[in-house]
Structure 1
Amino acid sequence: MPTVKLTLFVTGLSCLLMACSPKASSTAPKKPTSILDNLTFECKHEVRPPIDKEVHSLYDYALYHDLHNMWRGKKGDEVWQNMAVYYRIAAYNGDYQANLRLQWLLETKRVVVKKPQTEVYHLNKELEKTLPATAMYKLYYHLDSNYGVKTTPGGKFAYLRKAADMGSRDAQYEIGQILFRLQDPGTLRFRLDLRERLLECASNQGQGDAAEWLGIYYNSDKKYNKAIEYYHTGVKAGNQQSAFRLAEGFSAINSKQPEYLGVHVDTERSTRYEMISSYLFKYYFLKPTVPDLNEIVPLPPAKLPPWDGKIAFQRWFEGPSPQKPSDELMQKLAEKAGLDWQTGLPLKK
């Protein structure tokens, strides 16, 4: 393996390479003699604990109306302000999906409050109880946005590396992309191998972009079975390009290129992937996923089952609203978390 002086890389990247802690990022880390000295990675998956169904009913109701407001909604409008109450109460009762969605709505100013940075900061502290790796990645994400965390120039990479080591799929994907973009021919093979491990770890946790890149990588290396598997994984996670590539791979357009994805033409499979690709492309702003993909287009050689032409997300979105949570449930859960049930904000002492 090649030896490369750390001076080939930007100063801030040293924390990424050395796995130094976020708290230690304010001081200059001791320089290793080689990028290979400490740049190792052991795949860890973040455990996503089950969410109480009663609590999650608040999220389901809020998400339905939140998403139906995405196309024509105005920042700070009544829908988003009202749905924030449900998200808050669910978030402080351990619903990490509600927590993350509310953080995003605050970050994008769809939900308007006087001090969004303060609320996001406290939400992320709450998120640490259920998804500590994701919360660490969010800290990295917030470092450049005045959201309650600060570090020295370049120190943010310590947060990114820590998040990846803890199991954050997004951090693992992002580090993989950073390694890919580094301009250093001497470490190319080493970096590509490490990137592959990072992307595999992220993809197997449902990171759709990581799955797509693995599909591209394995297809170019003529490892077609693995390429198809990872594209398929990408589609499940909502990655539109993965669906598009599979549609192309099984299409009659490629009948004169039998080596493409190593499969025979299968127009019905191609059509189904194309329909899914079109939906993911058209409704990207809803961030749909396709966990039911195996019930629609199982991997070959499995036969295709009957299909009504819609993914489960689509049927849910086009269907009726989930039942509105009762005032009694809102009051019970708010009281449990020390919140005002009508605003979702902490009770004034």
Structure 2
Amino acid sequence: MKKLHLRKLTYGVLAVVAAICFFMGFKVPYTHYKAEQALPRNEQLPLFNPHRPAFTCEIEATKVPPIDAQADAWFREARALEDPDTWEEDRDYKKIVQLTRAAAERRHWKAMLNLASLYLEERDPPHGPDDAVALVEEAMRLGIPAAYDRMGTYYMEGIGVPAGASLAFAFWQKAAEMGSPQAMAYLGDKISATWDSPKDGFWANIPVATKMLGCALGQGYGPAASTLYYLQAWPRSPNGSRSGPRTAATKALALQTLQQGIRLGCANCARFLLVEFEQPDDLADMLVPHLDKARSERYRVLYDALHWNPDLRLPNLDKILPLPPAQLPQWNGDKKALIEAAKGVTLKRGQAEPGPAPQANGRAQVEAAYDLHPCDDTTAEGTAPCAGYWAPTAPGGSAQLRKHLATLPPGLYRPGEPFDSLYDPAVTGAAPIAGLVWRCFITVHRDHSAVAPVAVAGIAREILPAELGLSCAADMPCPATGVWQPWLPSGHPASAALNQPWRQAWMTAGQRFPIPWHGAEPPFDPIELTWHLMEAGKTSNGSQTA
């Protein structure tokens, strides 16, 4: 998702304004006041509580609406056009906006938030801050945790809403409780101090900070590791004070967390290890087991790459830079090859383009790469609430009418477009059918049950599909060296969170498969996983290892 490079007045603002207007003789319509209060930006939220006794880890990917496959293809194409290697003035922002809007209109939640960012960047005049806030509010109505996180940022920075830290922290707290890893990481960092200093914006609540940071890291948010490792390496009491010396076990856990952070895009984690392996602050109490300039050099390459492109992920890091005591594989000094070897792999698929505006005689057309799958969204209104495929149903109609409607394929509609008028074929000369309920369908890849993770172009390394045909249960030793993809069955609540290329692992034959959810309890039973060989093993210098 496109980053908003900002970090994240009181609830009575509207009431105060209304009171002032009243005493000055101006009238504020009550209906307008109630409408303003009903806006998601004005949601009545509990104040931020840094000393809460507990925190429940929720998973964002299980809370969001299902993603339309065609919309996701447009979204990923738009993200690829913003490649950091392309000069900003050379980027085709007209097409980026077009693709992002097409995806957002189908309620692709990441595209909705990215489109809001493009509005703020003035990439689509005359859209601006007010439109960005409205778009984020639309995502909030859909229950998107990241939208609440974004609204907190808007309040902290005064973007389209009055600036106010209290409301910002209230929205971030709500976002974290809903499952936003970004909000968890931010608040977890704020409450991981050694003492409370509210005026400076930090507090000490180590148990909750650890839970928040671990939950964020488990969901794939790498920057959470840069704070979590510190809490693990230096044991702390709940109020933030030191509770004991570092041990070999705490150091090992902290190292694993930093390594996982690098896999998930944490540049600061790579910077710390490049320093630690070459010139640590305290030689008598190093986090790493020994000095190693060769490792430091490789971490420097990774730091530069991740700093330049925060969207980069390096799940197969152990292929080129395993932690001690494992030996370093050979490397010829090619920095690009080092990065490419550590990336995840995806299978090449054809590019998808936004189709033409739907026509009355072509509503049922679906691109050959996709099938339609029903989702839970329905409406009894006469217009489409969002772009996509909609099919009529008649819950209160006769069996004959319901049977007839079931033969009609879903049709493609634009947002706000009136649904077609339909007539009951059993009733001659009748008026259009009343009381229809329209159900939404999303596109899915025709091979959606196949093990085929997807990513933005350039973030992962694309490979041609290979008939490797090798899979393994999670509780069995790895049968062959290579890049392995963990996978949950289609329809599993956590499949969207796990079936990602950045969950991959570089494995050597005979190793035990890891639990691909570092930092927190996974939202699945590991026995439900299967691992699939995506690419046969080669070292970073190209020699065969299996």
Q: Does the TM-score normalized on the shorter chain lie above 0.5?
A: yes
Query: What is aligned with 1:272?
Result: 298
Aligned ranges for residues 254-273 of structure 1 at < 5 Å?
257=283, 259-273=285-299
Question: 3-state SS of the aligned residue for 1:41?
Answer: coil
Give the whole-Å Cα distance in 2 for the aligned partners of 1:136 and 1:338: 23
Question: Which residue of 96, 109, 125 corresponds with 1:96?
Answer: 109
1:61 is displaced (CA, Å) by 2.0
Aligned ranges for residues 72-91 of structure 1 at < 5 Å?
72-73=88-89, 79-91=92-104
Query: What is aligned with 2:320?
Result: 296
Residue-by-residue CA offset, 1:28-62 (whole Å, 9 max, x unaligned) = 98xx9xx85x5432222222567444332212222
Query: What is aligned with 2:43?
Result: 23
Give the whole-Å Cα distance in 1 for the aligned partners of 2:59 and 2:110: 17
**TM-score, normalised via structure 2 length:** 0.47
Question: Which residue of 228, 232, 235 corresponds with 2:255?
Answer: 228
1:263 is displaced (CA, Å) by 1.3
Structure with the largest fraction of strand: 2
Give the whole-Å Cα distance in 1 for the aligned partners of 2:330 and 2:143: 38
Give the whole-Å Cα distance in 1 for the aligned partners of 2:387 and 2:147: 22
1:88 is displaced (CA, Å) by 1.1
Give the whole-Å Cα distance in 1 for the aligned partners of 2:330 and 2:67: 32
Query: What is aligned with 1:201?
Result: 215
CA separation of 1:302 and 1:105: change in aligned 2, threshold 3 A: farther
Residue 108 of structure 1 pairs with residue 121 of structure 2: yes
Select the structure of larger CA radius of gyration: 2
Question: Which residue of 70, 75, 81 corresponds with 1:59?
Answer: 75
Aligned ranges for residues 131-210 of structure 1 at < 5 Å?
132-144=144-156, 154-180=166-192, 182-183=196-197, 191-210=205-224
1:171 is displaced (CA, Å) by 1.5
1:303 is displaced (CA, Å) by 4.8
For the 8 Å contact 1:163–1:171, the answer to whether it is kept is: yes
1:315 is displaced (CA, Å) by 10
Residue-by-residue CA offset, 1:80-100 (whole Å, 9 max, x unaligned) = 122111011112324333333
- Amino acid in structure 1 at the alignment position of 2:108: D
For the 8 Å contact 2:319–2:342, the answer to whether it is kept is: no
**Aligned Cα root-mean-square deviation (Å):** 4.4
Higher relative contact order (CA 8 A, sep 6+): 1
For the 8 Å contact 2:263–2:317, the answer to whether it is kept is: yes
Give the whole-Å Cα distance in 2 for the aligned partners of 1:23 and 1:347: 26
- Amino acid in structure 2 at the alignment position of 1:124: V
- Amino acid in structure 2 at the alignment position of 1:23: E
Residue-by-residue CA offset, 1:139-179 (whole Å, 9 max, x unaligned) = 22223556666798723432222111111112212222333
For the 8 Å contact 2:103–2:111, the answer to whether it is kept is: yes
Give the whole-Å Cα distance in 2 for the aligned partners of 1:183 and 1:189: 6
Give the whole-Å Cα distance in 2 for the aligned partners of 1:128 and 1:295: 40
CA separation of 1:172 and 1:315: change in aligned 2, threshold 3 A: closer
- Amino acid in structure 1 at the alignment position of 2:81: H
- Amino acid in structure 1 at the alignment position of 2:262: V
CA separation of 1:72 and 1:138: change in aligned 2, threshold 3 A: closer
**TM-score, normalised via structure 1 length:** 0.69
Give the whole-Å Cα distance in 2 for the aligned partners of 1:291 and 1:347: 42
Give the whole-Å Cα distance in 2 for the aligned partners of 1:189 and 1:155: 18
CA separation of 1:108 and 1:97: change in aligned 2, threshold 3 A: same
Aligned ranges for residues 7-22 of structure 1 at < 5 Å?
none
Give the whole-Å Cα distance in 2 for the aligned partners of 1:81 and 1:276: 32
- Amino acid in structure 1 at the alignment position of 2:304: S
- Amino acid in structure 2 at the alignment position of 1:264: H
CA separation of 1:254 and 1:130: change in aligned 2, threshold 3 A: same
Residue-by-residue CA offset, 1:74-128 (whole Å, 9 max, x unaligned) = 8xx8x2122111011112324333333322222233x132232343234324534
For the 8 Å contact 2:157–2:163, the answer to whether it is kept is: no
Structure with the largest fraction of helix: 1
Structure 2: state its 5+ residue gaps. Answer: 1-8, 11-40, 236-245, 332-336, 359-364, 367-383, 389-413, 419-546
For the 8 Å contact 1:62–1:86, the answer to whether it is kept is: yes
Query: What is aligned with 2:338?
Result: 309
